[in-house]
Chains A and B, each alone.
Chain A
């Protein structure tokens, strides 16, 4: 520790810290623009100049390490002179357009100019002008305002993983730009808006819609992935104007993914359902709540009385709050119905009843950075968990070795030490190879259950899996570790795979040998919470897939769009069409109008109080940020009143807090969570390692901006380059094998459904696979996300015929 003195205050600081760190620690303000604690030090704005004893000129506080006995003066004559001069220089070329600048009121330059600048400028010459760049639909630029702090450049390079912006030219001609006419495509790009200390980078969707002092700030929790990012919802006139991150070091630090930042644009979509609606003789009529609820209750009651509780199927969105999930399950059970499930995109349910607890990510979010060896199985990290991927990136930058087993070879923008890109069906075998290779390693003399040992006999270990095994065991490319901290994670593609159970069991065995932390990376905001509350079928009930395969007479849908949110779109559509009665609790109407019979308008997460449980088991409650739109009501209230109307007992909740208390039985949530989270299995499931699969397999990835109903309706997110019409993407070898070229039209078929798609060359896809994005209108005729698929080339004539048929059918 070093003893230093700042402005007469003596403090003790650690070796290697800088003056600005020390000053921040004791709360002495030093103005700064380019310095940011999460980014590398550039020291190019010079705003943080301070006087240091024995130095004859001012030093930048952000780039000067402290030395023992240093005496620092931040408000001495020399320091103030330096600050005023720097301020004067910075303002030379800065336009005086604060009245029309979106940053006005929350601008670092304004604040610092008032606090540290002088009242006038001596500069009378012409100011420079820099042309604006179009860097995409999310970030708007006014480059004349830029003060060249390069925070945005450093963020995209260091946190985003890809330098998409740079400073070209120098001196007076320096300007920030993307390469030629490229846009910034990072899935974390919105953070450069927060980082920009001036109004050069502002939010495009929010532009000119409100001033920062008119906004009320309400804390909330992000609702689109399971990270549980803390957000701040900015509200004006009962309307959500924008969403910003709320600092939470252990979860989202000070960042936010674009999905969580810009999804709010979907909240006020014209597609919002504002009043209850009932289908009457095939026509939709708007009605009041009482009629709608009584009608829904009557229908549900009639069907369950006549055909028994199992005639009903309850499908719950994993993005719904814990309160909503709990009430949906309670309501189903009240109707003697065990068919409840939230695992809409899962295919393989063989683990049901074999788990010892709720599966979770197996460690704390910030611990990822401390791992030495990581293996990620079946996950396109940047697509599924945009912000979590950044933690992995940091781990790799810290020296961790990352191994990937996946059907997709998309660049995670970090160094991959080893990878195996195979068709999903072969992933079990690959994991078996890794396990076998490990069992052959000296240090891991292991006792596997006899069943597994026998299984591994048939497996032939290949060099790349041997390398992964050695990496996980501690042998490294650069240096060896005796006891590496290992992390093992399964992503969305593994979760929706028909052989998820086997992958999971293998991963568990590998984890057991290496002493790894880890588990699954659940897809949705409340997947973990839903599992913990048991929003799953009873022992006799049907799981999400069975409910669609064997159509039910009635369905209760909570916050889902069956064709887009279920793993088997065609099956979901057919089941909804066949059902006598579909009661949809929904925020939006377009999809529901086609599928349902009764629409009950519920509110999105900004208009209700509730609780999400994140992937690390953190239970986070939030309050409503705005009042419900129109006649819509929070889903927990709707479920409660529906249960009352049905005459079910035990639904006397007055507030969502009471529901929460019921969920945790009055205990402290963390205590319940502590008992529940467990990734271990009671018993191993029959694993087969040598299943041959010759046909093509679909990789039905859910694109990140199609993941849930709100995101799908956010225009700025839909304008990004990630919104591409689904295509049949295959690697060049596969195209050659099928005699196809890019641009061909093909008919892809799954089960009975089909879709006409364009062929696209995508060498990130494993051989034997066709990547066809899910959750899109173009592919709702298709089946399982990771199921079998066939591809047929269409001649121009056939294509014409099909298009003609479609046009006729529409007419």
Chain B
């Protein structure tokens, strides 16, 4: 069951679209449920599809198309590091190996305390600030150095 908070938020998103096109809110609805539950299980996708009155498979298509939707559990903090060309030229490899050593996990793995998950990201459209990383899809950090990354991680603990 979707929580009352989630349905309130989804209902607000629905006001942005014509009443007979509830499916239009699927991306927002999936995002809201993911924020609340941490990741999107098949059951969560089903609930969203049912709430919006659309075929489950159509919601699944959307959830699998965009890589900001997580279809398996991620830690409390999902750290996504861009490894595309601009960031790579500015030293993202170093940031990646530093983080992997520090957290003791590789890409797509979760730390044993369930707190952190590392993801390899694609271009975040902000190459002027390379190297870049995202925390939980919403918080962006620019001009990363190993010291700066340490500080960010400490701040999250």
Contact = CB atoms under 8 A, between A and B. Distances in A.
Asked if chains A and B come from one complex, the reply is: yes
Interface of A: 157, 162-170, 177-180, 182
B65 A166 contact: no
B55 interface: yes
B57 A165 contact: yes
A101 B70 CA distance: 36
Counting from the closest, the 4 A-B pairs by CB-CB distance are: A166-B57, A168-B64, A163-B55, A179-B57
B119 to A, nearest CB: 16
Contacts of B58: 163, 166
A167 B61 contact: yes
B65 A179 contact: no
A162 B55 CA distance: 7
For the residues of B in contact with A, the DSSP-based class is helix
11 contacts: A157-B55, A164-B55, A164-B57, A165-B57, A166-B57, A168-B60, A170-B65, A179-B46, A179-B60, A182-B56, A182-B57
B42 interface: yes
B57 A169 contact: no
A147 B57 CA distance: 19
B148 to A, nearest CB: 33
Interface in B37-82: 42, 46, 55-58, 60-61, 64-65
Contact of B64 (A162, A164, A169, A182): A169
Contacts of B55: 157, 162-164, 166, 179
Nearest to A173: B64
Contacts, number: 35
Contacts of B42: 180
A170 B64 CA distance: 8
A189 to B, nearest CB: 14
B57 A163 contact: yes
A168 B56 CA distance: 12
A162 B56 CA distance: 10
Contacts of A179: 46, 55-57, 60
B139 to A, nearest CB: 25
Contacts of B65: 168-170
Contacts of A167: 61
A201 to B, nearest CB: 16
Interface of B: 42, 46, 55-58, 60-61, 64-65
Contacts of B57: 163-166, 168, 177-179, 182
Q: Among the interface residues A163, A164, A166, A169, which one has the most CB atoms of the partner chain B within 10 A?
A: A166
A499 to B, nearest CB: 36
Nearest to A164: B57
Contacts of B60: 166, 168, 179-180
A563 to B, nearest CB: 40
Contacts of A163: 55, 57-58
A476 to B, nearest CB: 15
Given A166-B61, A167-B61, 15 more contacts: A157-B55, A163-B57, A163-B58, A164-B57, A166-B58, A166-B60, A168-B57, A168-B61, A169-B64, A177-B57, A179-B46, A179-B55, A179-B60, A180-B42, A182-B57
B142 to A, nearest CB: 28
A21 B79 CA distance: 51
Nearest to B66: A170
B26 to A, nearest CB: 12
A170 B67 CA distance: 10
Contacts of B46: 179
A167 B42 CA distance: 16
A179 B63 CA distance: 12
Nearest to A171: B65
A620 B64 CA distance: 49
Contacts of A178: 57
A180 B57 CA distance: 8
A167 B56 CA distance: 12
A157 B54 CA distance: 11
Nearest to B54: A163
A47 B96 CA distance: 41
Nearest to A181: B42
A770 B55 CA distance: 30
Contacts of A168: 57, 60-61, 64-65
A169 B67 CA distance: 9
B124 to A, nearest CB: 18
A752 B65 CA distance: 60
A136 to B, nearest CB: 15
A162 B57 CA distance: 10
Contacts of A157: 55
A90 B46 CA distance: 33
B22 to A, nearest CB: 14
Contacts of B61: 166-168
Contacts of A164: 55, 57
A160 to B, nearest CB: 11
A124 to B, nearest CB: 26
A555 to B, nearest CB: 50
Nearest to A415: B20
A95 B64 CA distance: 25
A163 B26 CA distance: 16
Contacts of B64: 168-170
Highest count of chain B CB atoms <10 Å: which of A164, A168, A169: A168
A177 B57 CA distance: 8
Contacts of B56: 179-180, 182
Interface-central residue, B57, B60, B61, B65, by most chain A CB under 10 Å: B57
A165 B55 CA distance: 9
A182 B60 CA distance: 13
A655 to B, nearest CB: 52
A168 B46 CA distance: 15
Nearest to A157: B55
A640 to B, nearest CB: 54
A166 B57 CA distance: 6
A307 to B, nearest CB: 62
A178 B58 CA distance: 10
A538 B56 CA distance: 56
A110 to B, nearest CB: 29
A169 B65 CA distance: 5
Contacts of A165: 57
A359 B61 CA distance: 47
Residue with the highest number of chain B CB atoms closer than 10 Å, among A157, A163, A164, A165: A163
Contacts of A169: 64-65
A348 B149 CA distance: 83
Nearest to A180: B42
B120 to A, nearest CB: 15
Q: Which of B46, B58, B64 has the most CB of A within 10 A?
A: B64
Most chain A CB within 10 A, of B42, B55, B58, is at B55
A265 B46 CA distance: 36
A179 B56 CA distance: 7
A170 B65 CA distance: 6
Contacts of A166: 55, 57-58, 60-61
A177 B61 CA distance: 10
A170 B66 CA distance: 9
A163 B56 CA distance: 9
A505 to B, nearest CB: 38
Most interface-central of A162, A177, A180 (chain B CB within 10 A): A180
A177 B64 CA distance: 12
A164 B57 CA distance: 7
A163 B46 CA distance: 14
A168 B61 CA distance: 5
